[in-house]
Amino acid sequence: MKTVHLIQCLCNRGSRDRSTSGQRVFLALLLVVLCGCSGHRSQAGKWHNAPVDKETGRAVMLWLTYPDDFAHPEKMRPHVLENDYAMLILWGFGEKEHEFYFFDSKKHRYFYTEDPECFRHVLRQLPEGAVVEWVQKCAAPFYYGMPEEEHEKISQTLRERKTSAPEFQSTVCVCEATGLKFLEANRVLTRHRTE
């Protein structure tokens, strides 16, 4: 049974139940914490420490490989976070159907999940009026193919927090890159194959 259904059952029980409303709410919140945002442990999100680029001191969002360094993964070039907050959404782009990253530059950390609701929950925790970058790439965006309904849910969550886009939006240029490595990916994604 999904966490949402358990919460509804706990919060809507009849008056004949001896437990107080406060106890039911506490139990419901405990279930959310134990089961993750959506009730599916495998998809629940988690905060991680972000790698830090030695040259700039900024959090790394992903790495790019180029023809001259593809054979040397340690030479992959980092793409760093330029703003305080950023989100990167991969839709049918990598190893999984969809993946969501949220970056917090000040704390050098990122949140990763495969669950859209869990991702929106993190966005709801943003300070009101925060400047949030939506990481794009040249040509089609990373989230190309995302259903309009899902795009609108994320946009609505950002509007509710009164967020704005930064003056400077970094774009990941993949024109000359031979591959990309995302933080939660086990392999380098290339144009022709996965290594």
Instruction: Write out pLDDT tens, residues 112-165.
Output: 999 999 999 999 999 999 999 999 888 888 899 999 999 999 999 999 999 999
| pLDDT score at 102 | 97
How many C-beta neighbours within 10 Å does residue 102 have?
Answer: 22
Phi and psi angles of residue 62, each rounded to the nearest 5 degrees, phi first: -165, 170
pTM above 0.85, yes or no: no
Q: By C-alpha distance, which of 81, 85, 172, 80 is closest to 132?
A: 85
Q: Token pair 């966490």 is at which residue? A: 3
Identify which of 17-21, 98-102, 182-186 has the greatest average pLDDT. 98-102
Q: What average pLDDT does this structure show over 77-88?
A: 91
Give the pair of three-digit tokens for residue 160: 């509710």
Tell whether the model's pLDDT for residue 42 goes beyond 70.
no
How many C-beta neighbours within 10 Å does residue 131 have?
Answer: 15
Share of the chain above pLDDT 70, in %: 70
How far, in Å, CA of 183 to CA of 187, rounded? 10
| pLDDT score at 52 | 93
Tell whether the model's pLDDT for residue 4 goes beyond 80.
no
How far, in Å, CA of 155 to CA of 43, rounded? 21
Identify which of 39-43, 102-106, 173-177 has the greatest average pLDDT. 102-106
- Answer for the pair 47, 183: CB distance below 8 angstroms, yes or no: no
| pLDDT score at 179 | 84
- Answer for the pair 113, 46: CB distance below 8 angstroms, yes or no: yes
- Answer for the pair 58, 81: CB distance below 8 angstroms, yes or no: yes
- Answer for the pair 113, 119: CB distance below 8 angstroms, yes or no: yes
